[in-house]
Amino acid sequence: AQRVTQPEKLLSVFKGAPVELKCNYSYSGSPELFWYVQYSRQRLQLLLRHISRESIKGFTADLNKGETSFHLKKPFAQEEDSAMYYCALRMNNNAGNMLTFGGGTRLMVKP
């Protein structure tokens, strides 16, 4: 069965420092990976998808199939980045589009 692991429950950095939120997955097929973010008192929302190869709010994530990882990175953290971040996996040819989520990492950016 597929599984998504986010090893850090909490990551605390100072403003301007680099950030890396780790995500590892296990899945025998070819997955699609996503990062979702939940800011305080807001609903869960899509941040970025690996197939888009895009940078959103300065965040990037590269799918590394060899290491089965999809780490989220930002070179200079901002206080407004403080939020819960969830990595999620969609199985290839998953016509239902169900997602398997990791347990989440809380990012705190200190001034």
Partner 1 sequence: DTGVSQDPRHKITKRGQNVTFRCDPISEHNRLYWYRQTLGQGPEFLTYFQNEAQLEKSRLLSDRFSAERPKGSFSTLEIQRTEQGDSAMYLCASSLGWGSDSPWYGYTFGSGTRLTVV
Where along the sequence are the contacts to partner 1 (CB under 8 A)?
Answer: 4, 6, 9, 32, 34, 36, 43-46, 49, 86, 88, 90, 93-104
Nearest CB to partner 1, comparing residues 45 and 78: 45
Q: Compute the least distance from the CB of residue 31 to partner 1, in Å.
A: 13
Cβ atoms of 19 and 11 closer than 8 Å: yes
Q: How many CA atoms lie within 13 Å of 72's alpha carbon, on the beta-carbon side? A: 30
Residue number, 36 or 59, with CB nearest to partner 1: 36
**Rounded CA gap, 16 and 26, in Å?**
32
